[in-house]
Structure 1
Amino acid sequence: MGTAERQEALEDGVAARSTAQRRREAPDRGIAADGGVTTGGGESPSGSHEPAAAEFEERGSARAAAQQQEYYRPLWIEEPARRRRLPDPVRTAAVRAVLIIAVTLIQATVAFLCTMAGSWLAFPMVISSVVSTVVATWGALDVWVTRQMWNQRNGVISEPSSTARALRRERRRAQRQARAGERAQERIARKGGAGQLSHS
């Protein structure tokens, strides 16, 4: 008898757990203890199967669409560049200058460490660091000179300024007025000549 009672208690606990889980999964619909589905208005289970199934299908389709959208989500979003890309000669000079400056810093660090350690390598490293400093200065100036040359050859856009446009507009207006005055004088002269001929 003890074993049968334990088995019945276990079955009751499993049933209670499954009912609670079903209530958690569908909180908007009332789920009866025996597994029947009832609507909020207290309708019978047989009359609410079709709306519940339609709602389940809508939720399933929405969930599938959301999963598909997450699956096809792009890895990154392309944004327009904040600055224009450097021209090829300028970029080459800049990369060269950065490499030379990096080597110079490494040589200066090694020279300092060798000097602190009292190594014989300190003197040659100091000399090479001085030479590399001169070359790095040349590399930085080369970037600036290359940029200026590229701008002069390719990057300068010849556009008249607003002042030049205003002056040219005024000049054109004065020319039009002068031409209009000349035409008016010619018409008056023609009319006067025609009148003299008619009087004679």
Structure 2
Amino acid sequence: MKRDERGGAASVGGLTGVTRGLWVEEPAVRYRLPDPVRTAAVRAVLVASVTLVEAMVALLATLADSWLAFPMVVAAIASTVGATWAVLDVWVTRQVWNQRHGVVSVPSSTARRLRRERRAARRAAREAQREEERAIRGAARRPGRAAPRARAGHRPRHAPHSPALR
């Protein structure tokens, strides 16, 4: 990029050509972590950095043949276990937060919308079927209307062929 294209280049007469502000807002590529997850992550970074410092001190004390070498090696091993625990804590905290608060991502929200539409369609179909059954039951219960009678000499469609019915 050339110096003049940046917009912040000084002109011949001084700083009169500056068109861009001091602070330029750019959209975030990723969203910010939730507070509990961020707290666990900061804790994990601090524990891991202390572990690295202890390991370095243990190495240097061992090379210097100091009496501090053995206690520092033991402390570094214990801190490694603690750092592993802290990293697992970040992972578990993130999973718990996602389950409790529900992360809306495009694929899952689309699937959720489709599921909601399917449920609504099934509910509407069940309601229509119930209404139809109510209408049939209501027609059968109405006074003054007799049930349809079989015509004389008419055999039901699925009746067995017997000489008595002919």
Q: What TM-score, normalized to structure 2?
A: 0.60
Give the Cα separation in 2 of the matches to 1:102 and 1:182: 72
1:131 paired with 2:78, answer yes
- Aligned equivalent of 1:144: 91
Alignment map for 1:53-72 (pairs within 5 Å): 70-72=17-19
Q: Which runs of 5+ in 1 are unaligned?
A: 1-66, 195-200
| Paired amino acid for 2:39 | T
1:185 to 1:96, Cα distance in 2 relative to 1, 3 A:
closer
Please tell me whether Structure 1 or Structure 2 has the larger radius of gyration of its CA atoms: 1
Deviations 1:117-152 (A, max 9, x none): 322221121111111111111211221222223233
- Aligned equivalent of 2:118: 166
Identity fraction in percent: 52
- Aligned equivalent of 1:24: none
Give the Cα separation in 1 of the matches to 2:127 and 2:102: 35
- Aligned equivalent of 1:116: 63
Q: Which has the higher contact order (CA 8 A, sep 6+)?
A: 2
Q: Which runs of 5+ in 2 are unaligned?
A: 1-14, 147-166
- Aligned equivalent of 1:197: none
Structure (1 or 2) with the greater helix fraction: 1
Give the Cα separation in 1 of the matches to 2:123 and 2:115: 12
- Measure how far apart 1:101 and its partner are: 0.2
Deviations 1:5-62 (A, max 9, x none): xxxxxxxxxxxxxxxxxxxxxxxxxxxxxxxxxxxxxxxxxxxxxxxxxxxxxxxxxx
Give the Cα separation in 2 of the matches to 1:185 and 1:135: 71
Of 168-177 and 117-126, more deviation after overlay is shown by 168-177
1:88 paired with 2:40, answer no
Give the Cα separation in 2 of the matches to 1:185 and 1:143: 61
- Measure how far apart 1:185 and its partner are: 6.3
- Measure how far apart 1:172 and its partner are: 2.0
- Measure how far apart 1:75 and its partner are: 2.7
- Measure how far apart 1:98 and its partner are: 0.2
